[in-house]
Amino acid sequence: MKSLVLLVTFLFLFCGISSAGVLYGRIIQENGNPLAKTRIVIEGKEVITNEFGGYAVRLPDGERELNISINDISYPSERIKIYSPRTKQNWRIDPREKKLIKIR
């Protein structure tokens, strides 16, 4: 039994076992229009939003505050929990505060 516990511990610590989920949704501007056809960077991964402001990016599972760069301006987000296989979250840009607000 002790050997089995050690083996499982080894696998988790040294094999990098982790899951990744897809974070997806829409980003809208302050006036309610979609952030269409815009290059954004989420956690270092570049994405182009579609005509509806839609985005999708694969990120490791867990709770985190995203840092999204839009037109070279950084917008931190509220904390979000990302779960496999998919997590949906829509955002609204707050240009005055330079942050992203969750749309519930």
Condensed to tens digits (0 to 9), the pLDDT of residues 15-33 reads 444 578 999 999 999 999 9
Q: Residue 6 domain-assigned?
A: no
Which residue range(s) make up the domain with 34? Answer: 19-103
**Higher confidence at residue 76 or residue 1?**
76
Residue 63, CB half-sphere, CA atoms under 13 Å: how many? 2
Q: Residue 25 domain-assigned?
A: yes
- Domain tally for the chain? 1
Q: Residue 7 domain-assigned?
A: no
pTM: 0.77
Q: Residue 10 domain-assigned?
A: no
- The CATH number covering residue 82 comes to 2.60.40.10
Whole-Å CA distances, 41 to 45, 48, 74, 97, 104: 5, 9, 9, 19, 22
Copy the structure tokens of residue 49.
């939003």
Q: Residue 11 domain-assigned?
A: no
Q: Residue 12 domain-assigned?
A: no
